[in-house]
């Protein structure tokens, strides 16, 4: 049973222009998406830059104003609500940012950074708070000496861990991770990914993993949605997306990912070419005349693909 539903979420940015600076058009950054979150599952949101995946994450947590649609959290509509400090929603949804450095206040000590959600949401005595901070630092594998240091004294991987410690401080149910490892080196990235998996199992957390890296998403997520121009083109579990991709955009994305195996690279190049040709010739089967992605149609229990209603039978 899902604890949170997102229905037909839309975020439009107005384009102003003309003599009176009126709204002449809208940028449809997020244009009607549906998501459901179950406890302990990881969800992946994949797309290229500008597809609206980060906007989706931000609008869920309330950093971006939602134009229409709603977010139901445990039966309560929390869309565009004024979020007070004692709101359960604010406590239970936390975020990890891409650039760990700029997401940490440079003038605060690590203990104050991690304590912020604790002070906001949990009423703990100073002694308990200290204990909790030590506990959190231990979870992210840092020593207690880190408490009195400042963010600039840490490396990129360590900063990202501080961001993670802050995100899990208030015992959240869902963590929105916006490209949490894309700024990190490969071995540090692997360390952080392993660690996110550990805490997910330990605390039964749900994740919304926003990334452009299909390898990372496959490693982390149970359910994956591919996004293009603010809409989902395909949505399904790991197998559906990686072994049985239906939408041309998914195929194109998958074929473009470099494989870490040099043996049959010529073959892959040819596949890439073929998909590209397919993409150009059969464009109209996947997008309507305005270039907008069709609505999702269910093709199996877990697998949904965007296509026009009349194409449904034929594909």
Partner 1 sequence: MNNLDQLLTINDLHTGFRIKDTYYDAVDGVSLTLRRNEILAVVGESGCGKSTLATSIIGLYDHNKTRVQGEILYNGENLALLKEDKLNDVRGEEIGMIFQDPLSALNPLMRIGEQIEEGLVYHTKMSKQERNTRVLELLKQVGIPNPDRIAKQFPHQLSGGMRQRVIIAIAISCKPNIIIADEPTTALDVTIQAQILDLLKELQNETGAGIVLITHDLGVVAETADRVVVMYAGQIIEEAPVDELFANPRHPYTRSLLNSIPQMNSENEKLQVIQGMVPSLVKLPRVGCRFADRIPWIPAEAHEENPTLHEVSPGHLVRCTCWQHFHFESEKGGNPL
Residue ranges in contact with partner 1 by CB under 8 A? 48-49, 155, 157, 185-191, 193-194, 197, 212-216, 218-220, 238, 242, 252-263, 265, 268-269, 272
Residue 17 CB, nearest distance to partner 1 (Å)?
Answer: 19
CA 60/CA 177 separation, integer angstroms: 12
CA 12/CA 286 separation, integer angstroms: 23
Residue 192 CB, nearest distance to partner 1 (Å)?
Answer: 10
Residue 301 CB, nearest distance to partner 1 (Å)?
Answer: 20
Residue 102 CB, nearest distance to partner 1 (Å)?
Answer: 17
Question: Closer to partner 1 at the Cβ: 88 or 277?
Answer: 277
Residue 276 CB, nearest distance to partner 1 (Å)?
Answer: 9
Question: Closer to partner 1 at the Cβ: 77 or 259?
Answer: 259
Residue 51 CB, nearest distance to partner 1 (Å)?
Answer: 9
CA 312/CA 309 separation, integer angstroms: 5
Residue 72 CB, nearest distance to partner 1 (Å)?
Answer: 32
Question: Closer to partner 1 at the Cβ: 282 or 298?
Answer: 282
Question: Closer to partner 1 at the Cβ: 47 or 69?
Answer: 47
Question: Closer to partner 1 at the Cβ: 84 or 261?
Answer: 261
Question: Closer to partner 1 at the Cβ: 73 or 154?
Answer: 154
Check if the beta carbon of residue 159 is closer than 8 Å to that of residue 151. yes
Question: Closer to partner 1 at the Cβ: 47 or 62?
Answer: 47
């Amino acid at each position: 049973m899902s604890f949170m539903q997102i229905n037909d979420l839309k975020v439009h940015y107005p384009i102003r222009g003309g003599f009176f600076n009126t709204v002449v058009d809208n940028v449809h950054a997020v244009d009607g998406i549906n998501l459901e979150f179950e406890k302990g599952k990881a969800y992946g949101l994949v797309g290229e830059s500008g597809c609206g995946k980060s906007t989706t994450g931000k609008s869920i947590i309330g950093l971006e104003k939602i134009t229409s649609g709603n977010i139901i959290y445990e039966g309560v509509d929390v869309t565009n609500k004024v979020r007070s400090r004692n709101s359960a929603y604010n406590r239970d949804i936390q975020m990890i940012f891409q650039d760990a450095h700029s997401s940490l206040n440079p003038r605060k000590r690590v203990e104050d950074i991690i304590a912020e959600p604790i002070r906001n949401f949990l009423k703990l005595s100073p002694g308990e708070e200290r204990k909790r901070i030590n506990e959190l630092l231990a979870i992210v594998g840092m020593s207690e000496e880190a408490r009195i240091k400042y963010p600039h004294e840490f490396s990129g991987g360590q900063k990202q861990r501080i961001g993670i410690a802050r995100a899990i401080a208030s015992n959240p149910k869902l963590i929105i991770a916006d490209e949490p490892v894309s700024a990190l080196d490969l071995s540090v990235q692997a360390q952080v990914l392993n660690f996110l998996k550990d805490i997910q199992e330990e605390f039964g957390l749900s994740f919304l993993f926003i990334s452009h890296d299909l390898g990372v998403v496959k490693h982390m997520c149970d359910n994956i949605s591919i996004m293009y121009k603010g809409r989902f083109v395909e949505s399904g579990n790991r197998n559906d997306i990686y072994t049985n991709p239906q939408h041309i955009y998914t195929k194109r994305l998958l074929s473009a990912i470099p494989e870490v195996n040099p043996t049959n690279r010529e073959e892959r190049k040819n596949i890439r070419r073929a998909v590209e040709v397919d993409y150009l010739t059969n464009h109209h089967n996947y997008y309507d005349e305005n270039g907008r992605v069709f609505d999702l149609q269910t093709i199996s229990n877990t697998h949904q693909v965007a296509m026009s209603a009349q194409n449904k039978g034929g594909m």
